[in-house]
Amino acid sequence: MPAKISTMCYIHEFTERLTQEFTVKEITAVARLNDDDPTKIVYLRVKAFIPVDQNIPCQIKDFNKGQVIFLKGKFIACASWYSVNATSVKLIDNMGFDDMPAIGFNFMIMGLTTKTIRNVNNQSIIEFYVEENLGDRELREFWVEVRHNANLRYLANNCFDYGYVNL
């Protein structure tokens, strides 16, 4: 299941190719997992689609090899790396790999459930169990309880995001 990711990473290398409507950048990025041990890293295979038509708004800012970026996108965990489709790339000026903090990953797992919402003390409550495999990370399964004010009709009429995992 695809999930959302946001993290800071270093551009190790990238290639770009031109299609009829997009410049496609295929990036190998590196994210640090530990400030004290620079060998604890994870590789990201990132694809960024930049419209050729400059009148089309785009959240992918220009970058070069050796720079640090803040990346947002949708990802799928693979055996020893993550595949990411970038939705936003912002350059972080004056920072290299050695200066980059290990902020980890923020994942947002999205999904639907058929559980029934309970109303308790003017709060809408839904509880369910999440079984996800996010690569070789801990926390493969967990319980989630989502609460919101029952008087907020917007939330009551829309799907719930069902988990937030910070690795």
Give the tens place of pLDDT for each residue, 102-141.
Answer: 876 655 555 666 666 777 787 777 666 665 555 545 555 5
* Residue partners of 126: CB distance under 8 A and separation at least 6: 113, 115, 116, 117, 118, 145, 146, 160
Q: What is the pLDDT of residue 122?
A: 76
Domain with CATH 2.40.50.140 in the chain: 3-108
Please give the single-letter amino acid code of residue 162.
Y
The owner of tokens 């004056």 is 94
* Residue partners of 25: CB distance under 8 A and separation at least 6: 14, 15, 16, 46, 47, 48, 50, 60
Whole-number percent of the chain with pLDDT over 90: 31
Topology annotation, domain 3-108 = OB fold (Dihydrolipoamide Acetyltransferase, E2P) (2.40.50)
Please give the single-letter amino acid code of residue 25.
K
pTM: 0.63
Q: What is the pLDDT of residue 164?
A: 39
Q: What is the pLDDT of residue 49?
A: 92
- The alpha carbon dihedral of 75, 77, 79, 80 has a sign of positive
Q: What is the pLDDT of residue 103?
A: 73
Residue 41 has pLDDT above 60, yes or no: yes
Task: Summarize pLDDT for 12-40 with one digit per residue, the tens.
Answer: 999 999 999 999 999 999 988 888 887 88
Q: What is the dihedral of CA 28, 13, 8, 22, to 10 degrees?
A: -80
Confidence of residue 166 (pLDDT cuts 50, 70, 90): very low
Q: What is the pLDDT of residue 154?
A: 52
**Mean predicted lDDT score pLDDT of the chain:** 76
User: Do residues 60 and 88 touch, judged by C-beta distance below 8 A?
Assistant: yes
